[in-house]
Amino acid sequence: MKITEPPTIASKDNPLLKTARAVRDGREKGMIFIEGLRLASELLDSGLAASSVYVSEENAAKFDEIVMRLARTGAEVLHVATKIFDSITDTDNSQGIVVLAAKPERQKLDELKVTSGPLVYLSRINNPSNLGAVVRTAEAAGSAGVLTSPGSADPFSPKALRASMGSAFRLPILIDVGIDEAAEFAREKGIPTFAADIRAGKRFTEADWKGSLMLFFGSEAHGLDARELEMVDEPVFIPMENRVESLNLAVSAGILLFEAKRQRDSA
């Protein structure tokens, strides 16, 4: 397939560039903003539909292969003058390719499949990079899906997508799920629930995580509050040296999720 050479966009005020910035800034709720070759490739492999691809004029030849693949799916190819390409980017050192695509369809909680992999619930996680890192860790550890609370960062924002490195395209992600809803869902499905709490009486390695379960995590700043912890069947703690007060969210999630994987794999 040969792509007709598109005209080069040379003005920052071009409506197509305004659209790209609106998607980047979260003002187009049904669209996602993907920047960089790796994420563009992950998008293609996921089967999600791309609507347009913006390529820096000086890098157009370098991206011929992936641009052709995107064009085959129906994406409009747009060349942008190099000197204004950074007006639509979200990174300081862009590779020169941006893709706009439809946001994955929102899944309902009652449609979520329960498997042997753990479900992850994130409450009030407002740092998109931390949230994206947890999504990536969750997929690596064989999780069944990630649920985020109202008020959490958008897992499909540019920063979260970069941190998840494509995992957000593959792993079931449910947004705006209240913690009460999540806890009730777990009870109805007979899934035990756990949370990391420094005041817990049981080490995380002493918990039985061989079957289906749900792990609850709060924000790094505040964690889970007392009411939220009451909804959890079993809090556990991660032993740390005395001078360390807490761990990074993605690190804590990784420790618990991979312990659950270790137990499943050795069962």
Helix, strand, coil tally for the chain in percent (to 5): 40, 20, 45
Q: Which CATH architecture has domain 8-102?
A: 2-Layer Sandwich (3.30)
**Would you give the distance in Å from CA 113 to the centre of its chain?**
18
Rounded CA gap, 113 and 6, in Å?
A: 44
Q: How confident is the model at residue 220 (pLDDT cuts 50, 70, 90)?
A: confident
Within this chain, domains 8-102 and 109-266 share the same CATH topology: no
Give the pLDDT score at 138.
97
* Higher per-residue pLDDT: 115 or 7: 115
Pick the CATH number of 109-266 from 2.40.110.10, 3.30.1490.100, 3.40.1280.10, 3.30.230.70: 3.40.1280.10
Give the pLDDT score at 68.
92
Give the pLDDT confidence of 121-168 residue by residue, as tens digits. 999 999 999 999 999 999 999 999 999 999 999 999 999 999 999 999
What is the rounded average pLDDT of the residues 77-81?
95
Helix axes 37-46, 64-72, angle to 10 degrees: 30
Per-position DSSP letters for 20-73, written without gaps between them: HHHHHTT-STTEEEEESHHHHHHHHHHTPPEEEEEEEGGGTGGGHHHHHHHHHT
Q: Where are the domains of the chain?
A: 8-102, 109-266
Give the pLDDT score at 3.
53
Name residues whose C-beta falls within 8 Å of residue 39's C-beta, 6 or more positions apart in sequence. 99, 161, 162, 165, 166
